[in-house]
Amino acid sequence: MIHISLPDGSIKQFEQPVTVHEVAASIGSGLAKAALAGKITPSAEQQTSKTESEGRLVDTSYVIDEDVALSIITAKDAEGLDIIRHSTAHLMAYAVQELYPEAQVTIGPVIDNGFYYDFAYERPFTPEDLAKIEKKMHELAAKDEVVMRELWDRQEAVSFFKSIGEDYKAEIIASIPSDEPISLYREGEFIDLCRGPHVPSTGKLKVFKLMKVAGAYWRGDSNNEMLQRIYGTAWATKQDQDNYLQMLEEAEKRDHRKLGRELDLFHFQDEAPGLIFWLAKGWQIWQQVEQYMRRVYVDNGYQEVKAPQILDVSLWKKTGHWDNYQDNMFTTESENRVYGLKPMNCPGHVQIFNSGLHSYRELPIRYGEFGQCHRNEPSGSLHGLMRVRGFTQDDGHIFCTEEQLQEECAKFTELLQQVYRDFGFTEVLFKVATRPEKRIGSDEVWDKSEAALMESLKKSGCEFEISPGEGAFYGPKIEYTLRDAIGRHWQCGTIQVDFSMPKRLGAEFVAADDTRQTPVMLHRAILGSLERFIGMLIEHYAGAMPPWLAPEHVRVCTISGQYDDYAMAVVARLKDMGFRASADIRNEKINKKVRENAMQKVPYILVVGEKERDEGTVSVRARGNHNLGVMPVEDFIQRLADDIALKRDVTV
């Protein structure tokens, strides 16, 4: 008798092996129709790895022949949506080969909000080609062809794909470890290599759209051939897809690169790829962000420090960065010594800690730095402020005892949430990234570190997800992800536990029993890269920054040249109070002045004419074309001061 435990606690019994689909059908015909896959968790006695305890996804045709726990996966589940997208990627490859038989299929994974597939083809795909491919995909989906999994002999699979001209696919199969099965999925005349699972039939794929074509090197190596990458999106419902496409349209309007040009914030040049030229207005935003974070440092017990930009490569070898990160580092030489331009700040902070002898009574010691870092990112990955080669982190490191670890993590989580609220982000997602395959340190240390992070979030009342294998090479981390005004998610802050680097670099403190012990080191950042965070702010606010962040608070516009002196006097008064203000005294009609200054997204536009001059008032327009009427200058000053003090946006 086979016992299958269901999520509601009930148990289904079967006298012989049964498929996932048959289990779903035994629960109800509606569930059987909606089922896309199953999630199998063996009983505790049968589990051979941590992965199995978390469950594994299988096709609905998978045969269950032992006692297991089973969840039926539908389009309502996150895993179900991934399966839809993965299956749609295969459907796209199927359509491409139907239309362009000479095209070779390479690799096609699921990505955020969609999928892509890379193809080798003799000519570039055009927008017209994408329309044809998408039409063919709908035709193939309408056939509702069964998607079947097959296990093949390795050499047989290599020979087969070579025989049909799929050399890339043959190369992939040959590189798969010998202990892994070679599984192929067949739908109609199309067959492709894949671990799966996939939807039961192509008819499950109804809502998708091909988005664009881009270039991509085979296996991501610029020494290899350039392939064509077709991106697509797929969803469970048309409404979900419509919402996503509307979000993309809004995101295009908010693109920080576009707004950076329109608002004169920053620019880039070919002479400095991945490096930013900040203009005065953009640098003003930067200064507001940095000065705010500097106050956060002071108010929360951080000592602000500054470490060198370059360090001898021997130090990077001690930390493990050279072995794990050297391809991303810029190096330079002087007097027969090799130096690394720092890609991160942590080794420098350990040297600062080591400059004196510390007692356990001093711990925790918290260092903060606006540390400028450089990383040799591939040119194809550079993206405005979001991905650069030179950036500044609001970087910090906490040296503490193991007993202080959880409390420090919990305090940091609380602080981080307050900072995000001040910047206008109210929704934060929490993820614990656990040990990667390539790492330093013992399993015992990793167990201790991961447990501390999870416990700190539990004590803070934060629900969190696990990101298996996504930790840094030296320790696990909590990743803090923000949701912006149009629903996009941005991974931003982090705190990482590190038992290894302090020991490697000889960091010690004097314990209560007078022994020398190694502190735990917490790597932490709230904003991460200031450049990237400012890019996020620009897009979150569509360039219309709240007054406390805005590069300019007020623009004073004159109705005619007779009132220029009064306008300049108002500006002088505002500047005396510490506000950022200027006057528009051009010989232009007032409506044109107001319209053009509104396009610069200044929070307040003040209009002055004869009445305002004679009465010592200003006519106030808040951003968004809201006329707030006439008020005394001092009343407006108080209003603006309150906006800034409360970190609120312009109010109507």
Is pLDDT above 70 for 48? no
Q: Which of 491, 418, 490, 428 lies closest to 464, judged by CA?
A: 428
CA distance 652 to 649: 10
CA distance 527 to 188: 50
Is pLDDT above 80 for 84? yes
Q: Among 493, 522, 541, identify where a domain stops.
A: 541
- Is residue 346 part of an annotated ligand binding site? yes
| 138 catalytic per annotation | no
Q: For residues 497 and 607, state if they share a domain.
A: no
Q: Does some domain include residue 235?
A: yes
The CATH number for 228's domain is 3.30.980.10
Would you call 423 helix, strand, or coil by DSSP? coil
Q: Which of 527, 538, 537 lies closest to 260, judged by CA?
A: 538
Cis ω before 308 (30° cut-off from 0): no
Reported as a single tens digit per residue, the pLDDT across 599-633 is: 999 999 999 999 999 999 999 999 988 999 999 99
In this prediction, residues 322-337 reach a mean pLDDT of 87
Total of domains in the chain: 4
The CATH number for 518's domain is 3.30.930.10
pLDDT of 47 reads 54
Q: Does some domain include residue 257?
A: no
Q: Does some domain include residue 574?
A: yes
Reported as a single tens digit per residue, the pLDDT across 210-222 is: 999 999 999 888 8
| 59 catalytic per annotation | no
Q: For residues 128 and 234, state if they share a domain.
A: yes
| 393 catalytic per annotation | yes
Among the options 82, 229, 284, 346, which is catalytic?
A: 346
Q: Which of 188, 147, 193, 201 lies closest to 173, judged by CA?
A: 193
Among the options 321, 366, 431, 523, which is catalytic?
A: 523
- Full domain range(s) for residue 37: 2-74
| 257 catalytic per annotation | no
- Percent pLDDT > 70 in the chain is 98
| 21 catalytic per annotation | no
- Is residue 358 part of an annotated ligand binding site? no
Q: Among 74, 90, 116, identify where a domain stops.
A: 74
The CATH number for 29's domain is 3.10.20.30
Q: For residues 89 and 55, state if they share a domain.
A: no
Contact 106, 167 (CB under 8 A): no
pLDDT of 44 reads 58
Q: 461 Cβ partners below 8 Å, 6+ apart?
A: none
Is pLDDT above 70 for 45? no
Q: For residues 288 and 399, state if they share a domain.
A: yes
Which DSSP category does 150 fall into? E
- Is residue 86 part of an annotated ligand binding site? no
CA distance 419 to 122: 52
Q: For residues 139 and 278, state if they share a domain.
A: no
Residues 75, 466, 535: CA angle, nearest 5 degrees:
85
Q: For residues 528 and 561, state if they share a domain.
A: no
Q: pTM for this structure?
A: 0.84
Q: For residues 44 and 130, state if they share a domain.
A: no
Contact 75, 103 (CB under 8 A): no
Q: Does some domain include residue 171?
A: yes
What confidence tier does 50 reach under pLDDT thresholds 50, 70, 90?
very low
Q: For residues 111 and 124, state if they share a domain.
A: yes
Q: Which of 188, 159, 195 lies closest to 97, judged by CA?
A: 188
Is pLDDT above 60 for 268? yes
Q: Among 499, 521, 541, identify where a domain stops.
A: 541
Reported as a single tens digit per residue, the pLDDT across 231-253 is: 999 999 999 999 999 999 999 99
Lowest mean pLDDT among 93-97, 156-160, 261-265, 456-460: 456-460
| 144 catalytic per annotation | no
pLDDT of 51 reads 46
Round the average pLDDT of the chain to a whole number and report it. 93
pLDDT of 459 reads 85
CA distance 405 to 175: 42
Among the options 394, 395, 484, 649, which is catalytic?
A: 395
| 303 catalytic per annotation | no
Among the options 85, 90, 397, 439, which is catalytic?
A: 397
In this prediction, residues 288-315 reach a mean pLDDT of 94
Q: For residues 135 and 207, state if they share a domain.
A: yes
Q: Which of 493, 497, 482, 496 lies closest to 528, judged by CA?
A: 493
Q: Does some domain include residue 320?
A: no
Q: Does some domain include residue 329?
A: no
CA distance 600 to 544: 8
Q: Which residues pair with 607 in a beta bridge?
A: 557, 619
Q: Is 301 left (phi over 0), alpha (psi -120 to 50) or beta?
A: left
pLDDT of 49 reads 47
Among the options 136, 198, 477, 555, which is catalytic?
A: 477
Among the options 374, 375, 431, 524, which is catalytic?
A: 375
Angle, to 10 degrees, between the axis of helix 280-299 and the axis of helix 530-540?
110
Q: For residues 118 and 133, state if they share a domain.
A: yes
Q: What are 205's two structure tokens?
A: 């794929």
Q: For residues 429 and 561, state if they share a domain.
A: no
